[in-house]
Each structure stands twice: as structure tokens, then as C-alpha cells.
Amino acid sequence: MPKSRPAGRVLTLLELLQSGGTRTVAELADRLGVEGRTVRRYVDQLIDLDVPVESVRGRYGGYRLAPGYRLPPLMLSDDEALAVLLGLVAGRRAGLTTAERAANETASAKIRRVLPRPVARRLDTLLEALAFTDRPAESDPPDAGVLLTVADAVRHRRPVSIRYTDRDGRRSERTLHPYGIVAHAGRWYVTGRDAGIGEDRGFRLDRIADARTLPGSFEAPEGPAPAERLLSGFATAEYRYEVTLRIHGTVQQIRAHLPAGIASLAEHEPAAGRDRAGVAERWWRVELRAERLDWLPPVLAALDRPFVIERPDELRDLVTALAARLASRARGA
């Protein structure tokens, strides 16, 4: 096997140190295939390049990188580079980016620029074959500073003062005891207690213009996790229409089209049968709130289960109109 060049071994040493922790001279010498004194010479070369390598004394001593240092020559394996790029693509497609939209693009471009051609071709092939089944919600990404401030307050149980704009454009300043940050349907949310009204609320992070940590602390409540609190809040929020349905099927069949973040589900009557997989089928009472109703008839059609509309009457009219259009098109075909 041909010997690697000294410059290559120095880069390998840097990669080993980048993986974290303290590496002994014996370990590094074994991994590089050199003697201990050669390892020390390579370390001196890294220090000459302003890479902050620290010497650790003692029985388990050796070398490590100074904590928190941002290394210019970040080294990734092919698989690691692909993982990072796919993460950037998925995050952008899901709408889960920060206010610095360009950061996602420039980070992707930097990694792609240094990928070996075979790896780049594999990535392009994958991206061409990749499809997403949903679209991110239409919203602005949250400010990175707000996101990090709120995250720090969640971790240390500190109250925060936020300037918030609600969906009607009303602006207010609130004191929030944040429980957690939740990514849902392409948006970032923070759940917590609004100290001004003494109620648990969910706030969209892209609608928070400023967040400041306040003195003091609070005790996190027991009970549902932040994501469960957020979804429960969605299902009971006030909207223009209150919809009540009865649907016959299984929980899995209904939730596939009306997830917990949209609708609440309660047993209407005991199970009368089972589907082919042996799962109990029964009538369920489904309740939800919505600003518009035009999206519901196609959802109910796709559900393909018996249903009864209890309210509102406007939804019955929309379902009847959709059925008439489909019947007309079927006859025309």
C-alpha cells in the first residue's frame, strides 16, 4: 500500500481532532502510521496554521482542539456531506429555516462546490428522484435571534418579553413563560403561559418581532408535552365555523386525513365491526374549527368512509355541490 504524503497525514490529524475529545499521542500515532515524535511535529504544523491545538497533561493526556473554535477547514466524509445537504434541502422544503434565507443557499453551495464529482452526481440523482407529499405553510421564517433567545429561555426556565402581532394584525407586548419550541406544518411555534392572562397559549415565532429575557424563573408544569399542548390548542381555537361530523371507520383512517392538529375525535357509539386488519370500526364524533370550509369536501371525499354532517349547513351545500360536479364529469367521460 502506498504511503500517504505528510500533508495528507496532517489533514487526517486535523480530522481526528475535529471528532472531539482528547486523543493520546499513542492513539494518533497508530491511526496515522507514524511515530510519536512525528505526531508532535504535525501538531506544531497545525499550530503554525493558527489551529488551536491544546496539549493535555496527565495519565490520559494528549491533544485536543480548543472548545468553541470555528475551524475554517471543516472536513466531512462523503456520507456526512450528503447528510448535511439533504438536511438543508429538507429544511428549506419544509419551511423550517431562519430569517437568514441566504444562509441555507450559501451553505449548500459551499458544500456542493467541494464534493467529489461521483458524490455530486449521486446527490443530483437523488434530488431528481425525490418528491415531497406536502407543501410548507405560507409564512415568513422566524428571526434567528428570536429563535435562539426563546430556546435559551426554555432551557433555563426564564420568562421572556415578546412583541407579538396576531393574525388580525393587532400588536401587543406580552410576558411569556415558555415551555418548549415546536415545529409543525412548516412553521415554528413556542408554547407557554401568557402571564398577562394566566392561560397557556401557542405563538408563531415568525410573528414575534422581539424577544428579551426577563429576570426571575418559573416552574415548568406537569402534564402534556409542548407539542401535545400546541395540537390541543389548534383543535379548540376559535374560528369562523364550528364543524361537527360523524364518521364511521377506524382512528387510523380518520387521522390520516384529519390529524390531531386539525380535529378532535371522540367515540360516538361502540364498535360494530372490524376492518380487514382486525381494527375496530365504529362511529366517531369529529369536531373542528375553520376559517373556510372549501377545503373540507375534498378531504371527506378522499376519506372514502360513511359520514354525517351535523353542522354547519354551509358544509352540506358544499359537499352536495362537489358530488354534483363529480357526477357530471363522470357522465361526460
pLDDT tens column, 87-100: 877 777 666 666 55
- Does 287 map to a domain? yes
Average pLDDT over the chain, rounded to an integer: 81
- Does 1 map to a domain? no
CATH number at residue 219: 2.30.30.520
Q: What is the pTM of this model?
A: 0.51
Q: Of 224, 258, 290, which marks where a domain is finished? A: 224
- Does 292 map to a domain? yes
- Does 73 map to a domain? no
Helix (H) or strand (E) holding 261: none
Q: Please tell me what DSSP assigns to residue 168.
A: T
Alpha-carbon separation of residue 82 from 10, 79, 85, 95 (angstroms): 24, 5, 5, 20
Q: Are 312 and 296 in contact (CB under 8 A)?
A: no
Claim to verify: residue 40 and residue 119 sit in the same structural domain:
no
User: What is the rounded CA–CA span in Å between residue 270 and residue 290?
Assistant: 28
pLDDT tens column, 245-269: 999 999 999 998 998 778 889 887 7
Helix (H) or strand (E) holding 262: none
- Does 220 map to a domain? yes
Domain extent for 188: 144-224
User: What is the rounded CA–CA span in Å between residue 149 and residue 73?
Assistant: 29
Res. 69: pLDDT tops 70: no
User: What is the rounded CA–CA span in Å between residue 66 and residue 253?
Assistant: 54
Q: Which residues contact 260 (CB under 8 A, 6 or more apart)?
A: 231, 232, 235
Claim to verify: residue 271 and residue 321 sit in the same structural domain:
yes
| pLDDT, position 163 | 94
Average pLDDT (51-68) is 81
pLDDT tens column, 281-295: 789 999 988 878 999
- Does 230 map to a domain? no
Alpha-carbon separation of residue 309 from 284, 292, 303 (angstroms): 12, 16, 14
| pLDDT, position 310 | 95
297 versus 95: which is more confidently predicted?
A: 297
Q: Is 271 helix (H, G, I), strand (E, B) or coil?
A: coil
Q: Please tell me what DSSP assigns to residue 246.
A: E
Q: Which residues contact 137 (CB under 8 A, 6 or more apart)?
A: 95, 185, 186, 187
| pLDDT, position 1 | 36
Claim to verify: residue 265 and residue 302 sit in the same structural domain:
yes
**Residue 325: Cβ within 10 Å count:** 11
The number of distinct structural domains making up the chain is 4
Instruction: At 127, list the grid cell.
Output: 434530488
- Does 70 map to a domain? no
- Does 236 map to a domain? no
CATH number at residue 34: 1.10.10.10
